[in-house]
Amino acid sequence: MYGNLNKCLWIHSGAVSGDAAQADSCSDPVTMPVSEFTNGQIGGGTSDGATVTTTAGSGCAMYDGSRITAYGNVRPWEVPTTATAPLNSQVAIGRTVLWRYVSRDGRYVMVRDPRSGGTDGTGLQSWYFIPRGCLPATLP
């Protein structure tokens, strides 16, 4: 898990190493209602996002002048949202991504870059959060 999130979460078994037994300190899984982590804006179906092109709007943070600063997690249920440490995405302005949902406070959007990273829990991942200002004011 990238960042400073201190919660019980699922993780792909291929993303961990070693064979030492670990005690399960998490309670039973809980499904969080959509209204608790999003402002109601949801793109795409249940497993992927809707296509949108990135823009350099107000609040869009860049790390090298052309690529968008992203975050592995942002605690989308908090108001205001708290972001983890920034990471360098491969998404440049004008690139098409898939957007999944807008955080509850409207500051971040979960996106997937289908051209970089994976979705298997190991290595560079293609799902992360970017500032809401990096997408058009009206989402498709």
Instruction: Look up residue 62 and give its DSSP letter.
Output: B
Could you tell me the pLDDT band of residue 126, with boundaries at 50, 70 and 90? confident
Percentages (nearest 5) of helix, strand, coil residues in the chain: 5, 30, 65
Alpha helices, DSSP H, located in the chain? none
pLDDT score at 91? 87
94-120 per-position pLDDT tens digit: 999 999 999 999 999 999 888 776 666
Cβ partners under 8 Å of residue 134, min gap 6: 54, 55, 56, 57, 59, 60, 61, 68, 93, 109
> Could you read off the pLDDT of 50-74 as tens digits, one per residue?
999 999 999 998 888 888 999 988 8
pTM for this one? 0.76
**pLDDT tens digits along 79-93:** 999 888 888 888 889
